Every structure is written in C-alpha cells, then in structure tokens.
Amino acid sequence: MPRRLGLLLILPLLACLAVVPTPAPFGTPLPLLTPKPLPTSILGAPTVVVFPFDVRGGLDPKVGAAIAQITASQIKASGGLNVLAVPKGVARKDFLKTARADHADYYISGYATPVGNEAAVVEQLVAVNSGIIIYSQTAQIATVADVASQSLIEREAILAHAGIGKQQVAPSAATPQPSAAAHGASVNIRGLSGLVDSVFGHHPAAAPKPSPTPIAKPSRGIIVTPVVGAHLSAADLSSATAVLFEALNATFKAQMTAVAGSPAQKASAMCGSDRDMTVAGGTLSSVPGPHHRTLAVFSFDVYTCFGAVLDHTVGKGATGAQAIRAAVKAYADAHPQNS
C-alpha cells in the first residue's frame, strides 16, 4: 500500500516535467521589438506663399501682381518647396495672419518703385513662425528674367533657413529656366509691358505716358536697415521699412541689407568692400500729441561704414509714414550729397 501511494505521488510530478519547454541554448538572442521608422514624408517640404507686391510712383498694380506670379512660378518649378497660390485682395497688415491661416512656413512680399524705364524692387522674406524678416534684398528689374533670377535667390534663402541642403532637395521633373522668348524678357517694365503680358496675356497698348526725368542722385549710396520699434507688429515694421526705403531711394541710391543687427555695430559688415556708402536705420515710436491724439515719432540715424554717427534727426507726424518721411527730408536737406 505505501508503495502504490508513492507511485501516485510521483506520476503527477513526471507529467509536469514533461510539459516544461526546453530552454534555449545559452547565448541565443531573444527576439527584439524593432520600432517602425517614421516616414521621411512626415516632415514635408517648407511651404511658402508670395503676396502681390505693392507698387508706388504710379506703377500699374498689375505689375506687382505679375512679379508675385512669376516669383511663385519660378520657385515652384525649381522644386524643394510647396508653393501656395498667390492670394488676392489681402492687405499688407494681414499678410502674417493670412500666411498662418494657410499653414505657410514663409511668405514673400515687397514693393516696386519706378526708376526711369526700370523698377527698384524690394523683396522681403518672413518666417511665419516668428513673424521676423529673415532675408531682404533689392534689385533693379526690367524683364521677366530679372524677376525669375531674384526668385531663385529667395528660394535659396528659404532652404538655408530651413536647414535643407541641396542634396536633400529632390530635383523637379523639369526645371524651366527663364526664357526671354516665352516671357517677353526683352521688354522693359515701363507701363503695361512684358511683365504684365507674361501673366495676364497681351492687351492693346495704352498711349505711352511721358517718362519722368530721372533725378540725379549722389554717387555715394545708402544702405537701409529694417525699422525697429517696441510694441509694433512685424507687419507694421515691415511697412515702415518699405516707407523708409522709398523715401531714401527718392533722393539717394538706396539698397537694403541682408546683414542682421544694429547699424551702429554692424555698419562695417553691411558696407562690405564698398566703403563709399552710408548706413541708415531708425526707431519708430509714439507719444501723446495735442487734442488727445497719438503722435508718431521716428528717430533716424545715419552712420559711416566705420560706425561713426553722420547725422541724427527726428521726424514727427500723424502717422508713422509721415514721421519717417519728415526725418528723411531733414537729413536730405542737411546732407544733399549723403556725406
């Protein structure tokens, strides 16, 4: 009896041992859970929107729209960026808000001023996330090819700011180069000409208007830095900078700078190798005026390329534009040769 009881106790233990899996040999790696790599497309290409350029000095508004269309088309054709359709009817003060609503990463805007048979164009590239102008350039344009060439510079500035190298940009299936024949690039911008025709189609030529006699400007040029000011939006500062450039360019050979920083500290870098220049900058603010109204004040400084103060003037007006123009006029009257 005791022997049978012992067998009954041992048999269940043998059954348990029979179902225990054989352990893996020592050193056999266990399977790992490998995370699935994120698709590279999740990052996407930066998105840019180009707004119609403002026009001044009597230029047809279609010229500004044509510049925007050509710029957007050339950037899109070059690949590497998502380019939105050129918006219509958006006020400059609403550029940043509109770009954010359209989920753009950058926007390009600017304005054109007639200079003889050509136009002086100021282009500004803004990072939508910060609302700060990250790049600005000026150029004399007369043809579609001129605009297309400037657009490629804007594209490179976007890619550089986004940290995208050329090797990371997938080439476009067909990257057209600016064509003089296709875009009427041999036609000057004066009146409704090649730029407008290339976008809006040919139209009957309007009666030519007499060209204004070009103003003789001093040989020494002036470099314009972005206007600064506390409690002003990026859009307001951009508009103020446009007014400052226009006011200075009416009397002097003005150009924007791509060098960031205070003109007093960065004057030498802004001038570069051309030392026959001056550097201008200013601060826009407001103070209480008469009859409980606000008065705009523009503190305007002009420096030599060595950083020395050439002149300091203050302009006042009912608007920021009036204050800026008043300060520039005071400087131009005191320094007609920009020296």
- Structure confidence by residue, pLDDT tens digits, 248-287: 988 998 888 767 788 889 999 999 888 899 999 999 998 8
- Strands 277-288 and 309-317 come out as unpaired
- Structure confidence by residue, pLDDT tens digits, 205-227: 444 555 555 668 899 999 998 89
**Helix, strand, or coil (residue 142):** coil
CA distance 241 to 251: 16
**Region 326-333 average pLDDT:** 95
Q: What token pair was written down for 320?
A: 């920021």
CA distance 87 to 98: 9
pTM above 0.85, yes or no: no
Residue with tokens 């040029």, as numbered in its chain: 221
Using a 10 angstrom Cβ sphere, with 0-12 exposed, 13-18 middle and 19 or more buried, the burial of residue 81 is buried
pLDDT given for residue 30 in this prediction: 35
- Structure confidence by residue, pLDDT tens digits, 81-135: 999 999 999 999 999 999 999 999 999 999 888 876 778 888 999 999 988 888 8
- For residue 18, the tally of other CB atoms under 10 A from its CB is 7
Residue with tokens 């030599």, as numbered in its chain: 304
- Structure confidence by residue, pLDDT tens digits, 288-312: 877 778 889 999 999 999 999 999 9
Q: What token pair was written down for 161?
A: 């700011």
Across 22-26, 209-213, 239-243, least confident range? 22-26
CA distance 165 to 81: 12
What domains can you pick out in the chain, each with its CATH number?
47-164+181-200 (3.40.50.10070), 221-334 (3.30.160.100)
Tell me: pLDDT of 245 over 80.
Answer: yes
